Structure 1
Amino acid sequence: MSQQSGHLGNAAEARAKGASISATSPSEHAVIVGAGIAGLACAARLRAAGYDVTLLERHETVGGKIRTVPSAAGPIDAGPTVLTMRHVFDDLFATLGARLDDHVTLIRQKTLARHFWPDGSMLDLFADRGQSTEAVRQFAGARAAQQFRAFCARAEHLFAAFDGPMMQAAEPRLATLTAHVLKHPQLIPAMAPLSTLQSLLRSSFDDPRLRQLFGRYATYVGGSPTHAPAILSLIWQAEAAGVWVVKGGMHKLTQALATLLQTHGTEVRTNAHVDRIEMQNERAAAVHLQDGTRLACDVVVHAGDPRALATGTLGASTEHIATQTFKAKRSFSARVLSFAATPKGPDLAHHNVFFSDQPTEEFDDLMAGHIPRHPSFYICALDRGQKTAPPATERFEIITNAPATVGTSKTPEDITQWLHQITRQMAQQGMTFSPTPTTQSVTTAQDFAQMFPASQGALYGQSPHGLTAALQRPTARTAIPNLYLAGGGTHPGAGVPMATLSAKHAVAAILSDQTSTFRLGQTATRGGMSTA
């Protein structure tokens, strides 16, 4: 073994044990493709472990789906709008010796969400469960409150039961999960394994409005309650455990993380379009940019949609990676309307949902690949929930679900009709904006398909439909040595906290594999074999 390779191995072993790395020890170089939240999180963890890190982003700014559009009132979020599972981000910043609260201002929301129906009814859900239960009682009666308590208990139980063996596990296996369930048989009725979320909600709530409300959580991972498994009811617990608004918008989180990374010596390159991943001796060895730059490296992390590898978007050498994404059905996409205006109508919280009076039709349309004729829609009032009065001109983000697309860049012909429809639905519930938003403010599935290579505009990767859908996602390790995956399209799945956890799994795999390679080299040397 060469003296240099011995230093590299000792550095790897020290990192795996959490030890500090000497400034004179050679550092491995990691290239991360994609600077969304998963790419940023990978960069933080790898930098903390002693790697030299180059983070590549094809757009002008970091953040990926945590993105903004400009307006006269300032940048407007055009992606995720609130933070849940805060502990994931506290842990991430701590890896670099930092406190999350020193870099962004987080405001915990007392009101989780405000819900409106066409019949004029309204329901707030709160961070305090007792307050939510009382609100449900006043909204739909004592029996509904009792059903809500039971539903919350089920979701909390499921979340606690599957957090460890599923979300926190780097490579969950059906056999392991089956054994876990058999060891805790009380989970079986809570899981309702033969039920969809919709059928579970029918048996959980008498009031159809509550079924519609909690069925909405399937859309948080890009699915329909008519086809998503009942176990996805646990998504409610992630929100019930706490919702935080990032002051200034979610993009402040990714900007703060990028600044912290640069302070720690990470190279962040924007407008960096990756052409291909180079292989040497059947290992990932370099990343080539479209401008001809070649970045040699010891580790490559692809933090974009894994379908880009399976489709050969990053070169033919990766087409055998994440092949399930090539044929798997895609999750839903969205149409996002981001604008500044003065609102008139019902008092809004930060997080608001206006429900359609055609809930079955909405998901029938989506499952058939059509834009819903009468969609429900989410309104984020970005300047609400900040502990200060909102300005006269506020920033808003309106989201409706949409099917994924084949990726054409052409503006959909129905975009004007769609905007008229949601404007009409809002007006029917007394909600108007001045000035009225225009189609110039809309991001479509076709736009998302152009932004995120090979995604087909799907914002959550593969479809979450089916009981074992969560086990069909690619995991961090790939069949190519030195190539790893992270992001919402990989395990443990979509959403800002889950994508951030995927980075933790990827870096743990990198450190474990490198340590194992070093130990194998030690064994070979001791046995009289040269590994140089």
Structure 2
Amino acid sequence: MADTPTVIIGAGIGGLTTAALLSARGMPVTVLEKEATPGGKVRQLDVDGTPVDAGPTVFTMRPVIDAIFEAAGACTDDHLQLTRADTLARHAWDRTGHLDLFADHERSVDAIGQFAGSDAARGFREFSTEAKRIFDILDEPMLRGGKVSWPLPLMWRIGLWRVGALHAIRPYESLWKVLGEHFADPRLQQLFGRYTTYCGSSPFQTPATLMLIAHVEAQGVWKIKGGMNALANALETVARGNGTRFRYGAKVEEIQTSRGRVTGVTLESGEVMHTRSVVCNADPSALGAGMFGEQVRKAASVTKPQNRSLSAMVWLAKSKVSGFNLDHHNVFFSDDYAAEFDAIRVGSVPTNPTAYLCALDHGAPADGAQRFQIIVNAPANGDKHTYTAEEKDQCTSNMLSRLNACGLELETPLPHSLVTPSDFSKLFPATGGALYGRASHGWAASFLRQGSRTRIPGLYCAGGATHPGAGVPMAALSGKLASEAVLSDHISTRRYHPKAIVGGMSTRSAMTEASG
């Protein structure tokens, strides 16, 4: 058993990060991935002969990613071509104009002032200050630390003398209510409330604590040449260089235990691999639902349907465009935000939805068809509801109507592929298509996420559905935390021979964002 590798189930961002960091320290690692390529939710699909990003598109928290590459003995710039975006996102409500937010804070203040008046600009300054304060309080103890409980363990990490800090993060107040304190203009309430969808949640049900996400994005958004898929490929390359073995098309049927701890995994092929450590880079609900065998069902809890995060209708399209000057990230808001989330809460796709559009070819010549990813929030009911052709057509029509209302014209009929909650449910079992794990609804939600360690010794979790939360940067941080848990649990029983690597994860980074 001494020479068996740590087995990582799933080559999503969390699993890839865990593999790169463990193998950098001389530990043998094997990654088993049921799909043919790395990335998990970070993937590309073919549309009319062209690969189109079908997963996360917003790349933030670059310092965290840089620190992970450094700890794995690599340099980000050697593997990725990154460009910092001047414009964070473009926002539109109708045909009368749009509002851009910028990497330069003062430009955003000026833009908001011109859009909604001097009171709105002042409100934005106050909002930004409060969001930064919340982020600074929770950065080290919550976002980058292991799972913690409320309130005393968190208070211990923050510092027992900082009693006021617990009040300052406003866990018992609604985000929507607090946005009303900063912004009288309902359009700005919509804009800054939308950040909660980055973790798959409704701004009407999340605590005001989550205004920190706006601060995180304000610290920088980067474009990756080749899309987010390039990040997954880069992490795989680094992990391979450190000695990780990857096996694709290798589905794990069962995680085995003996005397209460992990002893191995059984593949769909019948092959058995012995190990004392398994990192599950899947939604923890898959463990609790018995999808990795009865022996590990007790390892994690199943997220109840009413507690699931949002799913999505995702269009991957190629089209010529006219009528609206697109940026890379664009949001086309509905005129009734509350009605959108009311519809989702009762299990329906909104008929008048807000649509996010990523112009994947932004900056390239615009004389031909361009690639787009378009997202509309939807309920995570894919395990109970199969979307019919008629429903898909109606959702497409509703989405295009929203774009048209803001002045954007795409080709009709639109050449596209549509991914629904039903499709996501098949890809990510036991989720119903929820893309972010558990929704961040209520003050306790952030403390109920699965941590790195499970109830079964030797079985660990990583990924966007685990602590510290959803999105590419947070999934990477979960992988870091999982690697630290594995190392910590092995350090007293076996000697490893760390490789000579540069840097480490102990240096504080100038943190940035939340979600992708």
- Residue 389 of structure 1, CA deviation: 4.0
- Residue 392 of structure 1, CA deviation: 2.2
Counting only pairs closer than 5 Å after superposition, residues 360-509 of structure 1 correspond to structure 2 as 360-384=338-362, 386=363, 388-390=364-366, 392-407=368-383, 410-412=386-388, 413-434=390-411, 436-438=413-415, 441-509=417-485
CA 59–192 in structure 1, closer or farther in 2 if over 3 Å, else same = same
Distance 2:111 2:306 in 1: 41
Match of 2:322 among 344, 363, 376: 344
What's the counterpart of residue 11 of structure 1? none
- Residue 114 of structure 1, CA deviation: 0.2
Match of 2:487 among 511, 514, 522: 511
Q: Which whole-Å deviations, capped at 9, do the CAs of 1:229-279 have from their partners, x for residues lacking one?
A: 110000011100000011121111111222332233321111111100011
Distance 1:370 1:435 in 2: 25
What's the counterpart of residue 30 of structure 1? 6
Number of residue pairs the alignment of both structures matches: 492
Unaligned runs of 5+ in 2: 496-516
- Residue 498 of structure 1, CA deviation: 0.6
CA 149–469 in structure 1, closer or farther in 2 if over 3 Å, else same = same
What's the counterpart of residue 154 of structure 2? 177
Q: Does 1:95 align with 2:54?
A: no
What's the counterpart of residue 499 of structure 2? none
- Residue 517 of structure 1, CA deviation: 4.5
Distance 2:271 2:385 in 1: 27
Contact kept? 1:84, 1:244, Cα under 8 Å: yes
Q: Does 1:201 align with 2:179?
A: yes
Contact kept? 1:310, 1:320, Cα under 8 Å: yes
Q: Does 1:274 align with 2:252?
A: yes
Match of 1:289 among 248, 267, 270: 267
Q: Does 1:247 align with 2:225?
A: yes
What's the counterpart of residue 296 of structure 2? 318
What's the counterpart of residue 500 of structure 2? none
Contact kept? 2:331, 2:356, Cα under 8 Å: yes
Contact kept? 1:328, 1:462, Cα under 8 Å: no
Q: What is the one-letter code of the residue matched to 2:147?
A: E
Distance 1:436 1:68 in 2: 22
What's the counterpart of residue 60 of structure 2? 84
The farther-off stretch of 318-327 and 391-400 is 318-327
Q: Does 1:148 align with 2:124?
A: yes
Distance 1:462 1:310 in 2: 14
Secondary structure of 1:249's match? Answer: coil
Secondary structure of 1:363's match? Answer: helix
Contact kept? 1:73, 1:393, Cα under 8 Å: no
Secondary structure of 1:397's match? Answer: strand
- Indicate the percent of aligned positions where both proteins have the same amino acid: 43
- Residue 215 of structure 1, CA deviation: 0.5
What's the counterpart of residue 204 of structure 2? 226
Secondary structure of 1:320's match? Answer: helix
Secondary structure of 2:298's match? Answer: coil
- Residue 97 of structure 1, CA deviation: 1.6
CA 73–247 in structure 1, closer or farther in 2 if over 3 Å, else same = farther
Contact kept? 1:409, 1:447, Cα under 8 Å: no
Distance 2:161 2:376 in 1: 41
What's the counterpart of residue 15 of structure 1? none
Q: What is the one-letter code of the residue matched to 2:221?
A: V
TM-score by length of 2: 0.91
Contact kept? 2:305, 2:380, Cα under 8 Å: no
What's the counterpart of residue 84 of structure 2? 108
Distance 2:466 2:56 in 1: 18
Distance 2:159 2:327 in 1: 39
CA 107–94 in structure 1, closer or farther in 2 if over 3 Å, else same = same
- Residue 40 of structure 1, CA deviation: 0.5
Q: What is the one-letter code of the residue matched to 2:191?
A: L
Q: Does 1:126 align with 2:99?
A: no
What's the counterpart of residue 24 of structure 1? none
Larger Rg: 1
Match of 1:308 among 275, 286, 293: 286
Secondary structure of 1:371's match? Answer: coil
Contact kept? 2:300, 2:455, Cα under 8 Å: no
Distance 1:191 1:34 in 2: 34
Distance 1:444 1:335 in 2: 5
What's the counterpart of residue 514 of structure 2? none
Unaligned runs of 5+ in 1: 9-26, 520-532
Q: What is the one-letter code of the residue matched to 1:82?
A: V
Match of 2:29 among 40, 46, 53: 53
Q: Which whole-Å deviations, capped at 9, do the CAs of 1:390-411 have from their partners, x for residues lacking one?
A: 5622110000100001525833
Q: Does 1:332 align with 2:310?
A: yes
Distance 2:472 2:282 in 1: 13
Q: What is the one-letter code of the residue matched to 2:391?
A: D
Contact kept? 2:31, 2:247, Cα under 8 Å: yes
